[in-house]
Amino acid sequence: MDEHVIRNYARADIVFVSGNGAILRDETGREYLDFLSGIGVNSLGHGHPRLVDALREQAARVLHTSNLFRHPFTERVAALLAEATDMQAVFFCNSGTEATEAALKIARKHQRRCGHPERTGFLALEHGFHGRTLGALSVTHHRAYREPFAPLVPGVRFLPAGDAAALQAAFDAEVPAALILEPIQGEGGVRELAHDYLRLARKLCSARGAVLIHDEVQCGAGRTGAFLAGDHADVKPDIATLAKPLAAGLPLGAAVVAAGLADALVPGDHGSTFGGGPLVCRAAEVFLCELRDGLGEHVAARGAQLGDGLHALAAEFPVIAEVRGRGLLRGLRLRHGAPDLQRTLLDNGLITNCTAGDVVRFLPPYVVTAEQTDQALDLLREGLAALPKPDRGKK
Ligand SMILES: Cc1ncc(COP(=O)(O)O)c(C=O)c1O
């Protein structure tokens, strides 16, 4: 029945029909432990009662009115984001890639407004992922994603992630409109950038007048135990992009902007028909209030439990080369067999995914329980024990 769906995804032949918290049920009634949450999206898990009630109520009132009119929930979510980030103002859109587009455009507009129209280039990092639309793709590193769609936005330079000397040299050569980076590179293999490197990036951007964009689409909005992953390094960007977990399963993206850039966009400069409408913002309001009122501490505790468990497994199984990530964004880099392990886990009822070829990634919902975290670690131990030894003839 899928012959009319474009084959741009490698989909597993499983149909999920319902869920509850971190549990998903397929059409045969089989239950799975969801340690992927729709690639970091279902922050409140499945069937969260407060979220379901709020959406029911909002759906009965009004779904969409356009950005030609004010919405109380849009304004409320913007205020909650400003409070959580200590930043000034928010542009709303529908996805991570659109949040990147907005950030890049705001950066260029800001430079133009500051008398630097010549600053149009962007610095980005190797292993970085920022989305699939043409602008966002231009600052996404993976060549296989970019090459079929060339030519992309000119003036993008990729720097080796974490290399302080290369960063310094790039700024010495030319001041870009913006430097864009993920404090924890998600799709690139759950690689956390060193805090000193993040601080150097902040220092160079401030000193030279470049805009610092933190792409927090995957690592932000509370997933690592702080609202922004950059908070762990005490680094505030000029623009933080958010999306995946923000509306707990509905499509909402945001570019949260610091005070100096908040009026870079004026009416007509940029827009989105659906962005930040009443229904998604109602969901985001529930999520942000839950996060503020105790869920944030729960994430920190479950994140520590998951991290400790993964480190214990790494001590037990030499096939684990590295435990990566923070909070509820974790990765296990394997010496071999990461895709095999992911398939075995799925067969045994644990949903994860494999990224960057050799990393099994865990993005459980924020509401995952301590017991479910232990269950996932047990399933992982079984999966690791069942992993075939590498063929001696091969490397
Ligand atoms: C860090 C980061 N930025 C941007 C994106 C793009 O988000 P979307 O798929 O919602 O466009 C992703 C998606 O995985 C991401 O991880």
Where the chain has pLDDT below 50, the residues are 394-395
Three-state DSSP at 283 gives helix
* Best residue for ligand 1 mutational test, from 217, 241, 274 (most atoms within 8 Å of Cβ): 217
Cβ–Cβ < 8 Å for 364, 376: yes
- Centre of ligand 1 to C-alpha 138, Å, is 13
Which one-letter DSSP state was computed for residue 248?
B
Which one-letter DSSP state was computed for residue 293?
I
Tell me the pLDDT tens digit for each residue of 20-29: 999 999 999 9
- Centre of ligand 1 to C-alpha 129, Å, is 7
Burial of 359: CB neighbours in 10 Å, binned 0-12, 13-18, 19+: buried
- Centre of ligand 1 to C-alpha 101, Å, is 11
- pLDDT value at position 2? 82
Q: Which ligand 1 atom sits nearest the alpha carbon of residue 253?
A: 10
pTM above 0.85, yes or no: yes
Q: Which ligand 1 atom sits nearest the alpha carbon of residue 97?
A: 11
* Best residue for ligand 1 mutational test, from 187, 219, 242, 280 (most atoms within 8 Å of Cβ): 187
- Centre of ligand 1 to C-alpha 190, Å, is 13
Torsion of CA 268, 274, 277, 282, to 10 degrees: -140
* Residue nearest to ligand 1 atom 7, measured at CA: 96
Give the ranges where 218-295 is alpha helix by DSSP (H): 278-290
Tell me the pLDDT tens digit for each residue of 42-71: 999 999 999 999 999 999 999 999 999 999
Task: Output the ligand 1 site: residues, CB below 6 A.
Answer: 95-97, 100, 129-131, 182, 186-187, 215, 217-218, 243
* Best residue for ligand 1 mutational test, from 130, 134, 216, 223 (most atoms within 8 Å of Cβ): 130
- pLDDT value at position 390? 76
